């Protein structure tokens, strides 16, 4: 069997991120040069958004520890109505802001602040989808999950995507959440949880 050549000439390169599908399919975006910044791979994003496909259109999303904004931008490309990006690094936030402008993403809102501070102090508005992918070394997953649940950031039936290092202990999810999907790819473990009972 002869392998087909790809006709898509736009591929991610070091320092760039490619939107996988939707309105901005194949658009290349810049990645800030920040130590530890690690965009979610195209393969994982494709799997995640296949899981979310029935729910993503018209949703309000929260991209915590947004970094490159790969997850939130992919959500907007696929029909999410709004994404709030929360990123602490000024350098990463500046690059993300430039990418948002280049896409003319009207549904994007960027907050240059610590994710924990945002969840503790911002006015609570329920989100339908939350992307939770903090730097692996920061070990913030448990605390961010707790704050999301305790402060009622999640709409009924919300979906929560969590990405971790597969060698780290499992994330302690709030009792009211349940896992829908659980996979690994390389050194990354990623799960999709929900607030539905």
pLDDT tens track for 144-194: 999 999 999 999 999 999 999 999 888 999 999 999 999 999 999 999 999
C-alpha–C-alpha distance, residues 45 and 189, integer Å: 13
Sign of the alpha-carbon dihedral angle for 174, 133, 56, 94: positive
Architecture of the 16-194 domain: 3-Layer(aba) Sandwich (3.40)
- Average pLDDT value for residue range 38-54: 92
Angle at CA 109, nearest 5°, toward 195 and 37? Answer: 80
Most confident of 6-15, 28-37, 109-118: 109-118
- Interacting residues of 106 by C-beta distance below 8 A, sequence separation 6+: none
At 94 the three-state DSSP class reads: helix
CB atoms within 10 A of CB 37: 16
Residue 193 near residue 52, CB atoms below 8 Å: no
pLDDT at position 130: 98
Tokens 């018209």 -> residue: 58
CA 79 to chain centre: 15
Sign of the alpha-carbon dihedral angle for 49, 37, 170, 150: negative
- Average pLDDT value for residue range 139-143: 91
Pick 6 or 30 by higher pLDDT: 30
Residue 82 near residue 129, CB atoms below 8 Å: no
Question: Which pLDDT band holds residue 10 (cuts at 50, 70, 90)?
Answer: very low
pLDDT at 5 over 80: no
C-alpha–C-alpha distance, residues 126 and 134, integer Å: 20
C-alpha–C-alpha distance, residues 121 and 100, integer Å: 25
At 114 the three-state DSSP class reads: coil
User: What is the pTM for the complete model shown?
Assistant: 0.90
């Amino acid at each position: 069997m002869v392998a087909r050549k790809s006709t898509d000439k736009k591929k991610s390169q070091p320092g760039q991120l490619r939107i996988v599908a939707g309105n901005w399919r194949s658009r290349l975006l810049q990645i800030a040069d920040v130590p530890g910044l690690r965009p979610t791979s195209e393969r994982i994003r494709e799997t995640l958004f296949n899981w979310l496909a029935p729910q993503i259109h018209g949703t309000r999303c929260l991209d915590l520890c947004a970094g490159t904004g790969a997850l939130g931008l992919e959500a907007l490309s696929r029909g999410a109505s709004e994404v709030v990006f929360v990123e602490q690094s000024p350098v990463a936030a500046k690059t993300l802001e430039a990418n948002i402008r280049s896409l003319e993403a009207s549904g994007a809102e960027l907050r240059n602040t610590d994710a924990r501070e945002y969840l503790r102090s911002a006015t609570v508005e329920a989100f339908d989808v939350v992307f939770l992918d903090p730097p692996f070394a920061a070990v913030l997953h448990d605390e961010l999950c707790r704050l999301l649940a305790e402060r009622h950031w999640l709409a009924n039936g919300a979906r929560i995507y969590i990405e971790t290092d597969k060698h780290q202990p499992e994330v302690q999810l709030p009792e009211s959440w349940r896992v829908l999907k659980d996979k690994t790819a390389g050194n990354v473990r990623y799960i999709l949880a929900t607030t539905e009972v």
